[in-house]
């Protein structure tokens, strides 16, 4: 294959002059090349990967007008303010502009000085904005947060569906989509919805080697959160909570204990939210306790820790939220505290909001599937870096990442875990893959239940094979096997345990698995009592 044409020197000069960067990241180079060549593209990069430069820099050197579609006014404002500060003529068209601002924006677009104009999908499609942009000869459309177009994504926005009309409005323009969500299904959906023409598909590296991931069962939330805070005394960090009420309670508790913490959630008025954001950016507060509402546009590169007080609802959210740590490349820690109760709460939240918004059933199904993937990540006992990278469709070869609880040896392996795994899998085989977790555990523990008697399962060779193991541990291990893809849980209402070829490989000694002994509340309680 011939070497790709080098980027024009003017591009590097502009990047150095305006942004002060001396080089481009490899994927930025490819994305910018596609953009300058006027070729459609789909660029997938993790949060912090540097997506914005991919459409901002070409807009500066190309001439003509680039339209950027963005889902949130705050995001648009952030980018336009930054661009203006570094001397790139940019403007936004959103509902917050007054008449004078609107007129001056329109003038900049008309006379060709404005290089980038930011707007929302609904504004573009439903007002005469598209006509103004057509008349100005917009030649490039950049769709930011493009996963919002897909039902299968983690942040579907119905207004993004209207972008299917982009082609109609701007038949001659190149269309570029940018997202941090990379699952195959979402990618296909983006390309199809936006009518991308033979797009250059570029996927950046999702691994963040400077982040240390720890995933722990939630035993005593306050103590566990403070353990992290104390490891990072005086550092910047974010504590994500599930609900607004959790944020308020956590903030109050942390403040009372002397931490410089501030809350952030969508139930607060704009003023208070801005105050938190600014205090954090100005390093006047160390810790922001927040719901998922806090994130887009956080401009602090030295966030040293991110704690999740509960499981997020998708791996994409988790990746984005943890991605806010260590943007300066220095080592940072991400701790996720989870419990089975999180799944139940999140499922209820999804179902309730779907009912209120009368969302399509397929959206609920997709959301619950995302939740399931997240739970598997928590319980799976697979190297955290590996599991994340694989989720985003990439391979991870290193046998030990050296940067997660499992690879750092924080966790205790179950002695002779492979034998234990074989016992669990053969029990699933013995009950003919026709029962759920609870029953398989009962059989392994030698229980004498009505179902066991009725089915004659007390006569199986696996009955009582793991008699002395507590139920909770066995449950953890079953989930760990599922997380390692050597056991399958299928069916919605009454999920059954099934085997797959990997199960047999484990039973035949051809494949390794590991089981982790998780800390349990009782043990922690007793050690605390004796301390």
In the complex with ligand ADP, which residue's Cβ is closer, 115 or 327? 327
How near is the Cβ of 53 to ligand ADP at its closest, in Å?
5
Compute the least distance from the CB of residue 480 to ligand ADP, in Å.
32
* Region from 6-14, 42-50, 268-276, 333-341 binding ligand ADP, contact rule CB under 6 A: 42-50
User: By CB under 6 A, what part of segment 322-381 binds ligand ADP?
Assistant: 327
Cα(54)–Cα(146) distance, integer angstroms: 14
Question: Closest Cα partner for 507 from 443, 444, 424?
Answer: 424
Residues between 169 and 208 that touch ligand ADP (CB under 6 A)? none
φ/ψ (deg, to 5) at 215: -125, 115
Binding of ligand ADP at residue 47 (CB under 6 A)?
yes
Which stretch in 43-51, 389-397, 418-426, 512-520 sits in contact with ligand ADP by CB under 6 A?
43-51
Q: Which stretch binds ligand ADP (CB under 6 A): 21-29, 147-155, 188-196, 251-259?
A: 21-29
CB closer to ligand ADP out of 83 and 129: 83
* Axis-axis angle for helices 471-483, 437-444 (nearest 10): 120
The DSSP secondary structure of 167-218, one letter per residue, reads HHH-TTSEEEEEES---HHHHHHHHHHTT-SSPEEEE-----TTEEEEEEE-
DSSP, residue by residue, 391-427: HTT-----S--SSBTTTTT-SEEPTTHHHHHHHHHHH
Q: Minimum CB separation from ligand ADP for residue 279, in Å?
A: 20
Residues 277-316 that bind ligand ADP (CB under 6 A): 301
Interface residue with ligand ADP among 7, 11, 14, 24 (CB under 6 A) is: 24
As a 3-state breakdown, the chain gives helix, strand, coil percent values, each rounded to 5, of: 45, 15, 40
The CA angle 474-477-483, to the nearest 5 degrees, is: 150
Contact status: 45 vs ligand ADP (CB under 6 A):
yes
Can you spell out the DSSP letters for 134-158?
Answer: HHTT--EEEETTGGGG-TTSSS--H
Q: In angstroms, what CA-CA distances link 163 with 104, 105, 179, 180, 479?
A: 26, 22, 15, 19, 41
Q: Which of 337, 343, 375 is nearest to 224 (CA)?
A: 337
Burial 359-394 (b: 16+ CB within 10 A, else e): beeebbebbbebbebbbbbbbbbbbbbbbbbebbee
# binding residues, ligand ADP (CB under 6 A): 15
CB of 32 to ligand ADP, least distance (A): 10
Which window, 1-9, 41-49, 184-192, 355-363, contacts ligand ADP (CB under 6 A)? 41-49
Mask 48-77, x = binds ligand ADP (CB under 6 A)? xxxxxx------------------------
Of 50 and 340, which CB lies nearer to ligand ADP in the complex structure?
50
- Whichever of 25 and 514 has its CB closer to ligand ADP, that residue is 25
Question: Residue 244 burial (CB < 10 Å; 0-12/13-18/19+)?
Answer: middle
The one segment of 40-48, 165-173, 358-366, 413-421 that binds ligand ADP by CB under 6 A: 40-48
- Measure the CA–CA gap between 333 and 496, rounded to whole angstroms: 36
Verify binding: residue 25, ligand ADP, rule CB under 6 A: yes
Kindly state whether residue 21 participates in binding ligand ADP, applying the rule CB under 6 A.
Answer: yes
Per CB under 6 A, which region of 23-31, 157-165, 282-290, 475-483 contacts ligand ADP? 23-31
90 pairs with which residues across the strands? 116
Q: How far is the CB of 66 from ligand ADP (least distance, A)?
A: 15
**Minimum distance, C-beta of residue 46 to ligand ADP, in the bound complex (Å):** 7
Handedness of CA 468, 471, 473, 479 (dihedral sign): positive
**Nearest distance from C-beta of residue 19 to ligand ADP, angstroms:** 7
Considering only 20-28, 66-74, 281-289, 371-379, which stretch makes contact with ligand ADP by CB under 6 A? Answer: 20-28
Instruction: Summarize as ranges the residues that interact with ligand ADP (CB under 6 A).
Output: 21, 23-25, 28, 45, 47-53, 301, 327
């Amino acid at each position: 294959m011939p070497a790709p044409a080098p980027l024009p020197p003017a591009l590097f000069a502009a990047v150095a002059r305006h942004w002060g960067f001396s080089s481009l990241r490899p994927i930025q180079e490819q994305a910018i090349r596609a953009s300058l060549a006027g070729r459609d593209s789909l660029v997938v990069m993790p949060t912090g990967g540097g997506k914005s430069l991919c459409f901002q820099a070409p807009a500066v050197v190309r001439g003509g007008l680039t339209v950027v579609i963005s889902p949130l006014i705050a995001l648009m404002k952030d980018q336009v303010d930054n661009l203006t500060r570094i001397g790139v003529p940019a403007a936004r068209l959103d509902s917050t502009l007054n008449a004078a601002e609107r007129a001056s924006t329109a003038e900049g677009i008309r006379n060709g000085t404005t290089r980038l104009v930011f707007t929302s999908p609904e504004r573009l499609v439903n007002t005469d904005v598209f006509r103004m942009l057509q008349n100005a000869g917009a030649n490039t459309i950049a769709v930011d947060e493009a996963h919002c177009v897909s039902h299968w994504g983690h942040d579907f926005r119905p207004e993004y569906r209207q972008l299917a009309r982009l082609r109609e409005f701007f038949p001659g323009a190149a269309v570029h989509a940018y997202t941090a969500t990379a699952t195959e299904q979402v990618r296909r959906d983006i390309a199809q919805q936006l009518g991308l023409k033979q797009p250059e598909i570029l996927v950046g590296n999702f691994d963040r080697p400077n982040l240390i991931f720890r995933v722990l069962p939630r035993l005593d939330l306050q103590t566990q959160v403070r353990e992290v805070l104390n490891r990072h005394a005086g550092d910047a960090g974010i504590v994500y909570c599930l609900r607004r009420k959790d944020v308020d309670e956590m903030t109050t508790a942390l403040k009372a204990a002397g931490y410089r913490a501030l809350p952030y959630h969508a139930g607060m008025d704009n003023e208070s939210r801005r105050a938190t954001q600014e205090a954090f950016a100005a390093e006047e507060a160390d810790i922001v306790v927040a719901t998922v509402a806090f994130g887009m546009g956080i401009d602090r590169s030295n966030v040293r820790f991110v704690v999740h007080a509960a499981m997020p609802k998708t791996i994409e959210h988790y990746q984005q939220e943890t991605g806010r740590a260590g943007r300066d490349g220095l080592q940072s820690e991400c701790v996720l505290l989870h419990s089975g109760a999180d799944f139940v709460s999140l499922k209820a939240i999804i179902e309730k909001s779907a009912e209120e918004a009368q969302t399509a059933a397929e959206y609920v199904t997709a959301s619950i599937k995302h939740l399931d993937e997240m739970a598997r990540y928590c319980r799976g006992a697979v190297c955290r870096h590996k599991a994340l990278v694989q989720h985003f469709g990439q391979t991870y070869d290193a046998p030990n990442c050296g940067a997660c609880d499992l690879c750092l040896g924080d966790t205790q392996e179950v002695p002779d875990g492979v034998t234990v795994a074989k016992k669990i899998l053969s029990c699933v085989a013995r009950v003919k893959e026709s029962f759920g977790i609870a029953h398989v555990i009962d059989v392994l523990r030698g229980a004498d239940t009505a179902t066991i008697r009725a089915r004659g399962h007390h006569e199986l060779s696996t009955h009582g094979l793991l008699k002395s193991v507590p139920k909770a541990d066995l449950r953890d291990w079953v989930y760990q096997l599922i997380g390692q893809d050597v056991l399958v849980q299928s069916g919605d209402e009454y999920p059954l345990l099934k085997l797959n070829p990997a199960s047999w490989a484990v039973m035949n000694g051809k494949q390794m698995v590991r089981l982790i002994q998780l800390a349990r509340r009782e043990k922690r309680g007793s050690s605390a009592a004796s301390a």
